[in-house]
Chain A
Amino acid sequence: MAAATAMRFGQLSSGSDMAPDWTTKEVSTGTTIMAVEYDGGVVIGADSRTTTGAYIANRVTDKLTPIHDRIFCCRSGSAADTQAIADVVTYQLGFHSIELDEAPLVQTAANLFKASCYRYREELMAGIIVAGWDKRRGGQVYTVPVGGMLVRQPVSVGGSGSTYIYGYMDSNYKPNMTKDQCLRLVSGALSLAMERDGSSGGVVRLAAISETGVDRQVILGNQLPKWSTTGYIPYCLSKGLEIYPTV
């Protein structure tokens, strides 16, 4: 009965058909997020687009959220839900770390995310990648997709743009890469996803987490890696070719 009431209420407040969808849709992070582990740490990356329906609410979003000194999470799904979960886990992990009197494990952070995401799975829409460095196991990547599963992977992608880069990730990831190779892999994969996915775009935000600290970078739109199919029109113009060649 309560569910039926809630559904009807949703219909009441949906607004007329004349209103554009960005007045009624929830803010979603659309997104492409990625994390790779290497010997000595992890490299994480995300795009920077937040959408409400077809409108880009924020084109410079930071989806890489610090949870603790050496633990970050990459957020995808509903902006409100992921921000709330990240806040809750930050608090819980901080408290836990003070009790322990030492830096928390990445596995602990990942389990805290899983606990919230699984318990409230009906109410939430959140796909999160937890990545960081700890003393016991070095660099680790854990993925907590929608629904609340938890699994550790050496490399993980998430968000709506991830579907376009599974092939790139599978064929280009090799175990025991260096930090710079990882950075190139992540920035390459993200730029490909941003090319193809409408809900991903803006700039690429990267972070490399290791024992010594967190090194953050931003790659602006014009500095993104270029592929052979990117910018076909500028290529034609620079070579003096016709853009639409006629037979």
Chain B
Amino acid sequence: MTKSTRQPRTKILINSGMALSNVLEIPTSGFNFENVARNVALEGLLEGGQTKTPKPMKTGTTIAGLVCKEGVVLGADTRATSGEVVADKMCAKIHYISPNIYCCGAGTAADTEKTTDLLSSNLTIFSMNSGRNPRVVMAVNILQDMLFRYRGQIGASLILGGVDCNGNHLYTVGPYGSIDNVPYLAMGSGDLAALGILEDRFKPNMEMEEAKELVRDAIHSGIMSDLGSGNNIDICVITKQGVDYIRPYQESEYKDKRQKRYKYGPGTTSILTEKIVPLELEVVQETVQRMDTA
């Protein structure tokens, strides 16, 4: 398999000689498709056999956000699916970016986790360098840069919300690197249901309690109407004074109760036979180093 020897195109397009003081390192050019080739080869090998490659864990998801008078309210459900199975019933989809910025992620769970982690690290370095809280536009631009460079291969649809010196902001970043700045948003597989609620009841400059109820209702509608969303509802309220991360804001009424304790003490399983095989090792080389102790 020959690697492409063409000049890395997207690097030239984006990295036009400007020094980015906030990033950990200048990213290497283009997207490395070696793993793609490996996955294709694996699929071919396993297709004939019994096993299938495991499906990547997607967050299914309903996430929503809106800008209100005092700040930004973000909401998310807590179900993570792997194919048709619920992989995580209490998944945290509202990620910390900086003390004044939080991000909801929909799409492939690993991609949203790592992308938001990277962004958070970059912004922490920036904060340390400059002594300021990062602005929401900065977070959005870094995300846009990165996702555009990967040409949609990173399956992350993100809703970024935060409060900074310029006001309360809400942005969405798509997997291909497009951004939209709007007062209210919903993303994920349950977005159509949630957006219906938001379109009906959103008003500019809402009061905090009303805003929280609206976001809760929007996520609830997504949970009811979408199979990929479910379980509890998390809410994150960001204001100038601080952040209130309410997890869970509301628990699902369909919680199941474990019938018994499923932990077993030692000795539960009886040992039938025991066989000990000593490993014959011979000392080939021995070095002794003295430690200087004062």
Contacts and interface: CB of A to CB of B under 8 A. Distances in A.
A120 B4 CA distance: 16
A27 B174 CA distance: 8
Nearest to A23: B189
B14, B16, B43, most chain A CB atoms within 10 A: B16
A247 interface: no
Contact of A91 (B16, B37, B179): B16
A58 B152 CA distance: 19
A60 B144 CA distance: 20
Interface string A38-81: 00000000000010100101101100000000000000001111
B178 A2 contact: no
Nearest to B151: A123
B4, B13, B152, most chain A CB atoms within 10 A: B13
Interface stretch (A3-11, A139-147, A230-238): A3-11
Given A61-B180, A84-B177, A5 B36 contact: yes
A2 B4 contact: yes
B199 to A, nearest CB: 10
Interface string A19-40: 0000100110000000000000
A8 B36 CA distance: 9
B39 interface: yes
Interface size of A as a range = 20 to 34
A27 B1 CA distance: 32
Contacts, number: 74
B13 A9 contact: no
A58 B14 contact: no
Contact of B14 (A8, A12, A27, A84): A84
Interface size of B as a range = 20 to 34
B192 interface: yes
A80 B33 contact: no
A1 interface: yes
Contacts of A80: 147-148, 152, 174, 176-178
A1 B2 contact: yes
Nearest to B31: A6
A208 B178 CA distance: 26
Interface string B71-89: 0000000000000000000
A92 interface: yes
Nearest to B155: A13
B10 interface: yes
Contacts of A23: 189
Interface in B151-196: 151-152, 155, 174, 176-180, 182, 189, 192
Interface of A: 1-2, 5-6, 8-9, 12-13, 23, 26-27, 50, 52, 55, 57-58, 60-61, 78-81, 83-85, 88, 91-92, 116, 119-120, 123
Given A2-B3, A123-B9, 6 more contacts: A2-B2, A27-B176, A84-B14, A84-B144, A88-B16, A92-B16
